[in-house]
């Protein structure tokens, strides 16, 4: 399945708060769909599927990308679910979003694709780049790049920057201090259900 490009509020109504997907809030309380809220108790499979979909839509991944990340996480020492979340949180597009340099992850992805972002003084246009401790993130020295970032920062809805990141607002530069800890992950999710979902595939 390719990356989702449809109505974002519909997804957030169905899956709950997804800060990386959209900043908009719906006035409607019932989940999207013809029949609204299900009356039946959800099955174990549907619970696992819902958690997996939350992860996919929040970080803007295709099914193929998520499966690839799961396979890599399984090979790394430690809890597969925690490693997976750390990998997704350390992506360049998500890092820009967590720094408050973009209002959503799709907006951050566009900044990277349009070559507005420098990593260690080099232009990088790969959204999935894994940020490492010591990486310096800067804005391309172009008027258009600075205007876009400053506009985004004015309407940023992030009150605090996670401890693993450091931002100098005056210079528009940031530094990655460490790998993110599990409790700082920006979405409420049960990663064990996602690992279980893929273990049964």
| Per-residue confidence (pLDDT) for residue 84, from 0 to 100 | 93
Domain shared by 95 and 142, yes or no: yes
- Distance, in Å, from the CA atom of 88 to the CA atom of 85, rounded to the nearest integer, reads 5
- pLDDT of the residue at 143: 86
Residues 148 and 135 in one domain: yes
Query: What contacts 72, CB < 8 A, 6 or more positions away?
Result: 87
Instruction: Give residues with Cβ within 8 angstroms of 15, minimum separation 6.
Output: 50, 53, 54, 57
Assess whether pLDDT exceeds 60 at residue 57: yes
Contact 155, 103 (CB under 8 A): yes
Residues 105 and 124 in one domain: yes
Neighbours of 97 (CB within 10 A): 28
Tell me, yes or no, whether 20 lies in a domain. yes
Contact 188, 150 (CB under 8 A): no
Per-residue confidence band for 161, with pLDDT thresholds at 50, 70 and 90: confident
**Is residue 160 located within the same domain as residue 95?**
yes
Helix crossing, 80-89 with 191-199: angle to 10°? 110
Residue 108, both tokens: 């951050």
Residue 157 lies in a domain: yes
- What CATH code is carried by the domain that includes residue 163? 3.10.290.10
Mean per-residue pLDDT over the chain, rounded: 82
Same domain, 73 and 149: no
CATH number (domain holding residue 193)? 1.10.1050.10
**Which of 159 and 124 is assigned the larger pLDDT?**
124
Asked if residue 33 belongs to a domain, the reply is yes
Do 58 and 45 share a structural domain?
yes
60 with 128, same domain: the answer is no
Tokens describing residue 194: 């996602």
Q: Specify the pLDDT at position 151.
A: 84
* Residue 46 included in any domain: yes
Q: Are residues 65 and 100 in the same domain?
A: no
Which domain does 12 fall in, by range? 8-87+186-199
Q: 95 and 83 share a domain?
A: no
pLDDT at 145 over 50: yes
Confidence of residue 131 (pLDDT cuts 50, 70, 90): very high
Share of residues in the chain with pLDDT > 90 (%):
26
Among 31-35, 74-78, 169-173, whose mean pLDDT is lowest? 31-35
**2 part of a folded domain:** no
pLDDT at 1 over 50: no
Say if 1 falls within a structural domain.
no
């Amino acid at each position: 399945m390719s990356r989702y490009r449809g109505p974002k509020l519909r997804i957030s109504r169905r899956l709950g708060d997804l800060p990386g997907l959209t900043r908009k809030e719906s006035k409607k309380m019932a989940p999207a769909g013809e029949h609204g809220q299900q009356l039946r108790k959800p099955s174990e499979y549907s619970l696992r599927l819902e958690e997996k979909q939350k992860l996919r839509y929040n970080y803007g991944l295709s099914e193929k990308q998520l499966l690839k990340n799961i396979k890599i996480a399984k090979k790394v020492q430690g809890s597969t679910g925690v490693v997976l979340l750390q990998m997704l949180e350390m992506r360049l597009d998500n890092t820009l979003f967590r720094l408050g340099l973009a209002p959503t992850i799709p907006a951050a992805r566009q900044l990277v694709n349009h070559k507005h972002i420098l990593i260690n003084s080099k232009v990088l246009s790969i959204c999935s780049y894994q940020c490492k401790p010591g990486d310096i993130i800067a804005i391309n020295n172009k008027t258009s790049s600075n205007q876009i970032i400053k506009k985004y920062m004015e309407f940023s809805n992030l009150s605090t920057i996670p401890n693993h990141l450091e931002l100098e607002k005056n210079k528009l530069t940031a530094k990655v201090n460490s790998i993110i800890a599990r409790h700082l992950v920006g979405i409420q999710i049960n990663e064990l259900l996602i690992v279980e979902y893929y273990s049964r595939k």
